[in-house]
Chains A and B, each alone.
Chain A
Amino acid sequence: MDFSYSESELLFQTELRTWLEENLPEGWLDGNRNIPADNKGKGEFLRDWQRKLSEGGWAGISWPVEYGGRGATLIEEVIYEQEMARVKAPPVLNIIGTAMVGPTLLDIGTEEQKEKYVRKILNGEEIWCQGYSEPNAGSDLASLQTKAVKQGDKWIINGQKIWTSYAHLSDRCFLLARTENTGKKHEGITAFLVKMDQPGVETRGIRSINDQYDFNEVYLNDAVADDADIVGEVNNGWKVSLTLLSHERVGVARQTFRLQKQFDELVELAETLEKNGRPLILDPIVQQNLAIFRAKTKALLFSYYRHLTNSIRTGKPGPEGSMDKLASSELGQEMLAYAMSLQGAENTLWKEDALVDASWQRDYLRSFGYTIEGGTSEIQKNIVAERILGLPKDIKK
């Protein structure tokens, strides 16, 4: 048992820190973290950043070198996520590509798919979205209705996806569609890699509670895909989608480290805000609450490391990822709620009128998505109960 970094790990960390100091956008480390607000400007800004990372060798940390990755260890990948959270690096626009599609293709894609897509995921040349959810298939994903039918040598896709994050900025979609209607519902699903820029695909933005247009409806009207665009085999998409979910590791790491940063900022907030001329941080009740959050954020960090140690030892990610996801999304929500409470009567002011920094209001509202996206907390609890504790499954139809 050893909670410290080895020499080579420390070296990796220093190298990355130096690179970040030299390459983050002008003024970023001093707190001028301005990202263009409009969709187009934001997209360009984030694509540029992704390209820079990739050119510097800082994308796809644990991916094989032959596909443009760094070939580093899992621990180094974690250090990477930790450092990125520490400097509040710009968000990864291609999060779905880098966190899920890339690793899945590396795992079970054809050689041709690896060659064609993986590099472009890393350098931000092609942005990906994930077309899973539908209006009538959310938690119960296997009841999805979007259909793909083979006509000649093409697959013709019809149906509707919803909540598709960044679809409006994406070049490709990792999409699940029904290819068989007989048998059990999760047996007739196929995973396709679908080009977004084609006449049969239309996206419409959805406004979310934090006044952003990050997710979309995606309409598929005779959209077209080839045999070569199928991941795994026809009717094997459910298994493929599970592979994809098992690659959540990176996303969960990101969330865990974001929490550490969020906690530090919460303390700064309590140091900045005053009540009756005294900084809030001196209030014993505030101190008690912060101490609880401190213990919990540390606990989640160490739990994440423990689970990582397990998957390094066994060579495969375990169901503990669901625990990490569940716990970190809930805690993130709790801390942001507390940040709102600390801001007193002016806590609802936002955008340019925000009391301290509009990101508190924005992140607070955004945090409601944490416990819904990627499988709701209730669904995660079912997974943990069934796979880790062996409790009986819900009755399903």
Chain B
Amino acid sequence: MDFAFNEEQTMFQQTTRQYLQSKGDLAIPRNYMEGKQEILTQLWGGLAELGFMGINVPEQYGGIGLGHLSILPILEEMGRAVIPGPYPETVAFAIPLLNEFGTEEQKKRYLPDVASGKTKFTLAIIDDRKNQLKADLQGDNYVLNGAKILVAHAEFADLMIVAVRTGASNQDVSLLIVDHQLHAECQPVKSIDETRTLFTVSFSDFLVPKENLLGQESAGDQILKAGLNELTAAWSATMVGGMDRVVDMSAQYVKTREQFGQPVGRFQAVKHKVVDMLLALENARSLSYYASWTVENKAGDTFEAVSMAKSYNSEAFIRTANANIQNHGGMGFTWEFDCHLFLKRARSLENYLGSPQEHRENIAKESGWNKEKVLQYNK
């Protein structure tokens, strides 16, 4: 047993932190919010140079061939600086799904380019209620009509993995690798979290070659479940980074800000609140490590472990980000100070990939607190 980062993880963490600091740290999301989107291209190039785009890409496709636990420290660091961009979607969704379900053809076509930083992925899984996305197979192509909403970073990603209805029943879901940059209509929507740009992506008679099907036709639900598990673990890890940062910010600020002739951090109403934040962070970190460990080791309780991390961490992130604003007084309410970046990121992640309540329903299901179990118990 060993529950802390190993040398390699520590190295990834330190390298990421140094790199992000050299690029301006919180100035990165700030610049992005102000429309200087080239910062993202630069950042991506730098990450690829460090080898961070190919950590979990197998060696024969130009990567390092490690697992999810090795990207965990990088994700935390990105959360610490509210980094924009579809890094989790690319490394914790597209890469593992290509590794596991991709054809040899697809692996050769995409993985080396992902590892070199050339190709970025996002995903489109939520249907527009009024315009559900459907795909009809006609000859060698799927013909797509309909729209997906809340697609993150459609402007920056080169490709997206799209969940489409390919049959009559609700279960007939398939995953397609789609080059949306061709001529899908990407309409940005405004979100309070301006570090994650969201789009409505509409397709009309949009052709996707049959060979872009990821996994079997109509097996999309299962594949999606595996992929979303890993992606959810990844986003939970970024929340740990965010919480780590707000605890730091609060501790630093209340040590130096003086009122009534003393640092406000001496008042227990403030001091103890920072401790509560720290305790929440400790819990979140533990659940995140465990979830990532189950993902990498394909443990039997992966689904539950991930739901524990996501439900706890998203609520704890909001709580600590709230407290961080309060601890900074009027300063915390300003646009200029960084407190709000974390609050907004926390809110935009709260219900992304499942609300805390839904994840707790998963925990209940996985724990067997359902009818059958109880009937058995009573017998």
User: Does B92 make an interface contact (CB < 8 A)?
Assistant: no
Smallest CB–CB gap between A75 and chain B, Å?
5
Smallest CB–CB gap between A301 and chain B, Å?
8
Q: Is the CB of A313 within 8 A of B282?
A: no
CA distance A18 to B186 in the complex (A): 64
Q: Is the CB of B9 within 8 A of A299?
A: no
On chain A, the residues within 8 Å of B361 by CB distance are 284, 287-288, 291
Candidates B3, B254, B274, B357; contact of A306 at CB < 8 Å: B3
- Looking at A190-198, A205-213, A387-395, the stretch in contact with chain B turns out to be A387-395
Candidates A271, A284, A301; contact of B377 at CB < 8 Å: A271
Q: Is the CB of A303 within 8 A of B286?
A: yes
Q: Is the CB of B275 within 8 A of A381?
A: yes
Q: Is the CB of B266 within 8 A of A308?
A: no
On chain A, the residues within 8 Å of B369 by CB distance are 267, 270-271, 281-282, 287, 290
- Give a binary string over B349-376; 1 marks a CB under 8 Å from any A CB, 0 the rest: 0000000010011011001011101100
On chain A, the residues within 8 Å of B266 by CB distance are 391-395
Interface residues on A, range: 35 or more
Candidates B6, B272, B285; contact of A378 at CB < 8 Å: B272
Interface residues on B, range: 35 or more
Given contacts A384-B275, A385-B272, contact A294 B367 (CB under 8 A): yes
CA distance A384 to B276 in the complex (A): 10
User: Does A362 make an interface contact (CB < 8 A)?
Assistant: no
Q: Closest residue to A268 on the B side, CB-wise?
A: B377
Q: Is the CB of B1 within 8 A of A299?
A: no
Q: Is the CB of B69 within 8 A of A1?
A: yes
Given contacts A282-B371, A290-B364, contact A389 B251 (CB under 8 A): yes
Q: Is the CB of A298 within 8 A of B69?
A: no
User: Does B238 make an interface contact (CB < 8 A)?
Assistant: no
Q: Is the CB of A391 within 8 A of B282?
A: no
Which of the listed residues A292, A301, A395 has the most CB atoms from chain B within 10 Å of its own CB? A292
Q: Closest residue to B364 on the A side, CB-wise?
A: A287
On chain B, the residues within 8 Å of A267 by CB distance are 367, 369
Q: Is the CB of A5 within 8 A of B364?
A: no
- Looking at B30-38, B223-231, B287-295, the stretch in contact with chain A turns out to be B287-295
Q: Is the CB of B360 within 8 A of A288?
A: yes
Q: Is the CB of B308 within 8 A of A3?
A: no
Number of A-B contacts (CB under 8 A): 161
CA distance A271 to B377 in the complex (A): 8
Given contacts A288-B360, A392-B255, contact A385 B274 (CB under 8 A): yes
Given contacts A271-B377, A295-B308, contact A391 B265 (CB under 8 A): yes
User: Does B64 make an interface contact (CB < 8 A)?
Assistant: no
Q: Is the CB of B251 within 8 A of A390?
A: yes
On chain B, the residues within 8 Å of A5 by CB distance are 1
User: Does A323 make an interface contact (CB < 8 A)?
Assistant: yes
Q: Is the CB of A3 within 8 A of B282?
A: no
User: Does B42 make an interface contact (CB < 8 A)?
Assistant: no
Q: Is the CB of A389 within 8 A of B3?
A: no
Chain B at the A interface: SS class: helix
User: Does A9 make an interface contact (CB < 8 A)?
Assistant: yes
Q: Is the CB of A385 within 8 A of B271?
A: yes
Q: Is the CB of B262 within 8 A of A294?
A: no
On chain B, the residues within 8 Å of A296 by CB distance are 283, 312
On chain A, the residues within 8 Å of B285 by CB distance are 303, 306
Smallest CB–CB gap between A288 and chain B, Å?
5
CA distance A279 to B373 in the complex (A): 11
User: Does B5 make an interface contact (CB < 8 A)?
Assistant: yes
User: Does A23 make an interface contact (CB < 8 A)?
Assistant: no
Which of the listed residues A5, A288, A299, A382 has the most CB atoms from chain B within 10 Å of its own CB? A299
Q: Is the CB of A279 within 8 A of B374?
A: yes
On chain A, the residues within 8 Å of B200 by CB distance are none
On chain B, the residues within 8 Å of A281 by CB distance are 369, 374
On chain B, the residues within 8 Å of A291 by CB distance are 311, 360-361, 363-364, 367
User: Does B65 make an interface contact (CB < 8 A)?
Assistant: no
Q: Is the CB of B283 within 8 A of A299?
A: yes
Q: Is the CB of B279 within 8 A of A326?
A: yes
Q: Closest residue to A377 on the B side, CB-wise?
A: B272
Given contacts A279-B374, A290-B369, contact A299 B360 (CB under 8 A): no
CA distance A211 to B265 in the complex (A): 40
On chain B, the residues within 8 Å of A392 by CB distance are 255, 262-263, 265-266, 271
On chain A, the residues within 8 Å of B378 by CB distance are 279
User: Does A38 make an interface contact (CB < 8 A)?
Assistant: no
On chain B, the residues within 8 Å of A395 by CB distance are 266
Candidates B262, B286, B370; contact of A302 at CB < 8 Å: B286
User: Does B4 make an interface contact (CB < 8 A)?
Assistant: yes
- Give a binary string over A316-331; 1 marks a CB under 8 Å from any B CB, 0 the rest: 0000000100110000
Q: Closest residue to A287 on the B side, CB-wise?
A: B364
Q: Is the CB of B286 within 8 A of A299?
A: yes
Candidates B4, B254, B297; contact of A391 at CB < 8 Å: B254
- Give a binary string over A347-381; 1 marks a CB under 8 Å from any B CB, 0 the rest: 00000000000000000000000000000001001
Smallest CB–CB gap between A164 and chain B, Å?
29
Candidates A270, A294, A303, A384; contact of B363 at CB < 8 Å: A294
Q: Closest residue to A389 on the B side, CB-wise?
A: B251
Q: Closest residue to A294 on the B side, CB-wise?
A: B363
Which of the listed residues B255, B282, B297 has the most CB atoms from chain A within 10 Å of its own CB? B282
User: Does A2 make an interface contact (CB < 8 A)?
Assistant: yes
User: Does B278 make an interface contact (CB < 8 A)?
Assistant: yes
Given contacts A287-B369, A295-B363, A299-B287, contact A313 B4 (CB under 8 A): yes
CA distance A266 to B285 in the complex (A): 25
**Contact residues, B308-363 vs A (CB, 8 A):** 308-309, 311-312, 357, 360-361, 363
On chain B, the residues within 8 Å of A308 by CB distance are 3
CA distance A310 to B286 in the complex (A): 14
Candidates B278, B360, B377; contact of A287 at CB < 8 Å: B360
Known A267-B367, A388-B278, A391-B274; 20 more pairs at CB < 8 Å:
A1-B4, A1-B6, A5-B1, A282-B371, A288-B357, A291-B360, A291-B361, A291-B367, A294-B363, A299-B308, A300-B286, A306-B285, A323-B279, A327-B279, A327-B282, A382-B271, A385-B274, A389-B278, A391-B266, A394-B266
* 10 A-B residue pairs with CB within 8 Å: A295-B309, A298-B286, A299-B308, A300-B286, A302-B3, A309-B1, A309-B2, A326-B279, A389-B275, A391-B274
Chain B residues within 8 Å of A, Cβ to Cβ: 1-6, 9, 69, 247, 251, 254-255, 262-263, 265-266, 268, 271-272, 274-275, 278-279, 282-287, 289-290, 293, 297, 308-309, 311-312, 357, 360-361, 363-364, 367, 369-371, 373-374, 377-378
Q: Which 9 A-B pairs have the closest CB atoms?
A: A302-B286, A291-B360, A299-B283, A291-B363, A287-B364, A295-B308, A305-B3, A391-B265, A392-B266
